[in-house]
Chains A and B, each alone.
Chain A
Amino acid sequence: GQQLNQSPQSMFIQEGEDVSMNCTSSSIFNTWLWYKQDPGEGPVLLIALYKAGELTSNGRLTAQFGITRKDSFLNISASIPSDVGIYFCAGQRPGMRFGAGTRLTVKP
């Protein structure tokens, strides 16, 4: 199925650093979502964005729904070791299409 272009594929950062990842698509979506998946678990929703241009924060996480409705970014500030995992973006309209994921490693 159609995939979103998510980058970077992986990141190795030091604890305390900020992280930024993004997704782009050639198609418009009505909703953008960001999920985190730990090994052996299903994805867990972090942030949902419903309107073009919307900027939403959830603790140390900030995400934006691009004005063209074809892109979104996720920022994590002051990373901590438990931020380790795979982060997926998803566009919904209504069936979801997912990015390939960004694997985040945080070194203490």
Chain B
Amino acid sequence: GAGVSQSPSNKVTEKGKDVELRCDPISGHTALYWYRQSLGQGLEFLIYFQGNSAPDKSGLPSDRFSAERTGGSVSTLTIQRTQQEDSAVYLCASSRDFRETQYFGPGTRLLVL
């Protein structure tokens, strides 16, 4: 595809369950980013991958959040033991490298009941 894709588009889960969110970046983009957007708020940086370098995890809000990027392409954001305050839209973006413009996917809307 031409753009960043994310799945699922919507996810409803119960408090305490684990969830996995997937991001497929634009082909050839070495940089991949995860952001969180709460209702009516701006975007909050979570984590950044650049090639084979160690990821920048400085934005992860707690140790319940983790992310992997396998083979330098697809990324998975995992939230363990979800809490109601984790409800938000999780956006993924990719760019050719960290100096270039990021392009966003449509997001995954997570609702924790």
Binding site for B on A (CB under 8 A): 1, 3, 6, 30-31, 33, 35, 40-45, 48, 88, 90, 92, 94-101
Contacts and interface: CB of A to CB of B under 8 A. Distances in A.
9 contacts: A33-B101, A42-B104, A45-B102, A48-B101, A94-B98, A95-B33, A96-B43, A97-B45, A100-B42
B105 A95 contact: no
B59 A95 contact: yes
Contacts of A97: 45
Interface string B90-107: 010100001101111111
Contact of A95 (B41, B45, B91, B106): B45
Contacts, number: 62
A88 B102 CA distance: 14
A96 B102 contact: yes
Contacts of B48: 94-95
Interface in B41-66: 41-45, 48, 50, 56, 58-59
Contacts of A96: 33, 35, 43, 45, 102
A54 to B, nearest CB: 14
Contact of B58 (A31, A41, A95, A100): A95
Nearest to A97: B45
B31 A94 contact: yes
A96 B61 CA distance: 16
Contacts of A95: 33, 45, 48, 56, 58-59
Contact of A42 (B44, B58, B101, B107): B107
Given A94-B48, A95-B33, A100-B42, A41 B103 contact: no
B33 A43 contact: no
A50 to B, nearest CB: 8
A66 B30 CA distance: 28
A42 to B, nearest CB: 4
A44 B54 CA distance: 28
